[in-house]
C-alpha cells in the first residue's frame, strides 16, 4: 500500500472511531433523565417513614419525597419517578452500574462508601443513630447487660459493623443473626430467634408497633453510633451531582425563608431578593445548573420545603411521629442548614 493510501485509511479509521465514540458516549445523567422523562430512584424495599408503599400502593416517605423533589426540579413533574426497591447490599452497585440515577435509601454517609464504592453523598436528610430493641422478658435495662445476647441485624449495613465495634470495645460476647432485610429481622425477633434487634433508631419505634404485642419489647436508651442518612449519586457526573445537591439545599433554604407549598405562589410577588432568587424571579440560578429557573419553585410547590417533607413522613403528622430534634433548622438549634443560592 502506498504511503498516502495508508495515511488515508488511518485518518478514516480515526474519524470513524471518533464518530462511534461521539454517538455512543452518554451525554450525561441530566440529559439522559430529561430524554427518558423519568428519574430512576433506588429506595428501600419498605421502611415506613423513609420509603414504603402506602395503603393505596403509592411510594411514600422522606426519601421518596426527595426523589419526587428532584423529578419536579429536573422535569417539572414530581410524579416522573421510577422507584426501584433495593436490598441494602445491592444499593451502591445499582448506582455504580447506572441502573439508577439517584439513591435515596436511608444510607449512612461513610468514608469507605465514598472512597471505594464510586458514590458521592448529597447532603444529610436525616441525622440518626443506632439503637437496640430487646424482649422485655430479658429484664435488660442497658446495653451493658447484653453480653452473650443473640443480635438480629441486616447484611450490608453500617449497623452490622457498629455492632461488632461496640461489643469488641466493651469486651462483650454476642452471636449475630444476620438477615437480608428489615422484614426478616423483625420476623426473627418476633419468633424469638434473637434477644435484641439493632438498627437505625428511627426504625425501631416503627418496628416495635408491628409486633403482635408491642409491650413485649422495649427500646434501650443508648445510641452507639452516628448515622447521617443521605441520598447519593454515582461519582462520575459532576453536573448531575451539583444539580441534585442544589435541589437538596433549595428545599432547606425554602424552610429557612418561610416558603412553603401553600404560600409559594404568593411568595413569587415578594420583594425579598433571597426569595426572588430561590424561586427564579431573578438572577437565573436554575440555568447555572442546566435546569430551568423554576427548579426550586417546582420542587417546593409540588413536594414542599424540607420541614413539610419531614412533618408528613417521619414527623408529627407522619407514620413515625418523630420530633425534629437535631433535624431542626440550625436557627432552631438543629443541624439543617441550606447553602446560599446566589
Ligand X SMILES: N[C@@H](CCC(=O)N[C@@H](CS)C(=O)NCC(=O)O)C(=O)O
Q: Measured from the CB atom, is 200 or 293 closer to ligand X?
A: 200
Q: In terms of CB distance, is 34 or 110 closer to ligand X?
A: 110
The reply to whether 157 sits near ligand X by the rule CB under 6 A is yes
Strand 149-154: give its sheet, edge to edge. Answer: 174-179, 149-154, 196-200, 130-135, 217-219
- Residue 295 CA to residue 32 CA, distance in Å, equals 17
Q: Which stretch binds ligand X (CB under 6 A): 24-32, 150-158, 186-194, 271-279?
A: 150-158
We find the least distance from the C-beta atom of residue 26 to ligand X, in angstroms, to be 28
Indicate the pairing of strand 174-179 with strand 149-154: parallel
Distance CA 308, CA 145 (A): 40
Nearer to ligand X, 231 or 280 (CB): 231
Angstrom distance (rounded) from CA 128 to CA 230: 10
Closest to ligand X by CB, 198 or 298: 198
Q: In the range 219-258, which residues lie near ligand X by CB under 6 A?
A: 227, 229
**Options 29, 38, 125, 159; binder of ligand X; rule CB under 6 A:** 159
Query: Could you tell me the smallest distance in angstroms from the CB atom of residue 91 to ligand X?
Result: 8
User: Minimum CB separation from ligand X for residue 45, in Å?
Assistant: 3
Q: CB-wise, 59 or 246, nearer to ligand X?
A: 59
Residue pair 73/250 in contact (Cβ under 8 Å)? The answer is yes
Site for ligand X in 43-72 (CB under 6 A): 44-47
Q: Which of 29, 38, 125, 158 binds ligand X (CB under 6 A)?
A: 158
* CA dihedral angle for residue 283, residue 286, residue 288, residue 289, rounded to 10 degrees: 160
**Residues 123 and 230: beta-carbon distance below 8 Å:** yes
Give 205-252 as a DSSP string.
HHHHTTSSSGGGEEE-S-----EEE--EEETT-HHHHHHHHHHHHHHH
Shortest distance (Å) from residue 335 CB to ligand X: 17
Restricted to residues 96-135, the positions that interact with ligand X (CB under 6 A) are 106-108
> With contacts defined by CB under 6 A, how many residues of the chain interact with ligand X?
19
**Nearest CA-CA partner of 110 in 124, 96, 95:** 124
Report the 10 Å Cβ neighbour count for 36.
Answer: 13
CB of 227 to ligand X, least distance (A): 5
Q: How far is the CB of 137 from ligand X (least distance, A)?
A: 23
Residue 55 Cβ, how far from ligand X at the closest point, in Å? 18
CB atoms within 10 A of CB 323: 10
* Calpha distance 151→160 (Å, rounded): 10
**Closer CB to ligand X, 101 or 227, in the complex:** 227
In the complex, least distance from residue 205 CB atom to ligand X, rounded to whole angstroms: 13
302 lies in the site for ligand X, by CB under 6 A:
no
151 lies in the binding site for ligand X (CB under 6 A)? no
Q: Which region among 59-67, 151-159, 212-220, 279-287 touches ligand X (by CB under 6 A)?
A: 151-159
Strand-pair partners of 81: 39
List binders of ligand X among 161-200 (CB under 6 A): 181-182, 199-200
**Spatial contact of 42 and 107, defined as CB atoms under 8 Å apart:** no
State in angstroms the smallest separation of the CB of 176 from ligand X.
Answer: 13
d(CA 217, CA 220): 10
Residues that bind ligand X (CB under 6 A): 44-47, 88, 106-108, 154, 157-159, 181-182, 199-200, 203, 227, 229
Amino acid at each position: 500500500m502506498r504511503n498516502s493510501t495508508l495515511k488515508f485509511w488511518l485518518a478514516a479509521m480515526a474519524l470513524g472511531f471518533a464518530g462511534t465514540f461521539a454517538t455512543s458516549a452518554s451525554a450525561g445523567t441530566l440529559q439522559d433523565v430529561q430524554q427518558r422523562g423519568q428519574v430512576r430512584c433506588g429506595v428501600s424495599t419498605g421502611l415506613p417513614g423513609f420509603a414504603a408503599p402506602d395503603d393505596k400502593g403509592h411510594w411514600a416517605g422522606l426519601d421518596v419525597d426527595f426523589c419526587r423533589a428532584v423529578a419536579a426540579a429536573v422535569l417539572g413533574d414530581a410524579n416522573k419517578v421510577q422507584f426501584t426497591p433495593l436490598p441494602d447490599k445491592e444499593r451502591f452497585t445499582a448506582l455504580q452500574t447506572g441502573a439508577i440515577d439517584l439513591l435515596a435509601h436511608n444510607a449512612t454517609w461513610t468514608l469507605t462508601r465514598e472512597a471505594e464504592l464510586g458514590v458521592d453523598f448529597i447532603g444529610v436528610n436525616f441525622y440518626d443513630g443506632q439503637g437496640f430493641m430487646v424482649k422485655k422478658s430479658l429484664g435488660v435495662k442497658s446495653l451493658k447487660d447484653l453480653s452473650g445476647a443473640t443480635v438480629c441485624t441486616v447484611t450490608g449495613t453500617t449497623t452490622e459493623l457498629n455492632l461488632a465495634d461496640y461489643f469488641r470495645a466493651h469486651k462483650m460476647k454476642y452471636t449475630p443473626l444476620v438477615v437480608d432485610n428489615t422484614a426478616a429481622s423483625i420476623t426473627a425477633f418476633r419468633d424469638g430467634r434473637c434477644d435484641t434487634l439493632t438498627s437505625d433508631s428511627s426504625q425501631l419505634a416503627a418496628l416495635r408497633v408491628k409486633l403482635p404485642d408491642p409491650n413485649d419489647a422495649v427500646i434501650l436508651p443508648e445510641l452507639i453510633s452516628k448515622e447521617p442518612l443521605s441520598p447519593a449519586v454515582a461519582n462520575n457526573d459532576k453536573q448531575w451531582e451539583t444539580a441534585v445537591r442544589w435541589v437538596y439545599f433549595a428545599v432547606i433554604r425554602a424552610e429557612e425563608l418561610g416558603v412553603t407549598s401553600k404560600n409559594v405562589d404568593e411568595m413569587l410577588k415578594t420583594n425579598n431578593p433571597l426569595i426572588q432568587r430561590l424561586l427564579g424571579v431573578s438572577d437565573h440560578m436554575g440555568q447555572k445548573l442546566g435546569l430551568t429557573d423554576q427548579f426550586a419553585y417546582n420542587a417546593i410547590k409540588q413536594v414542599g420545603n424540607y420541614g413539610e417533607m419531614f412533618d408528613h413522613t417521619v414527623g408529627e403528622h407522619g407514620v413515625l411521629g418523630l420530633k425534629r430534634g437535631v433535624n431542626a433548622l440550625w436557627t432552631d438549634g438543629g443541624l439543617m442548614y441550606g447553602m446560599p443560592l446566589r
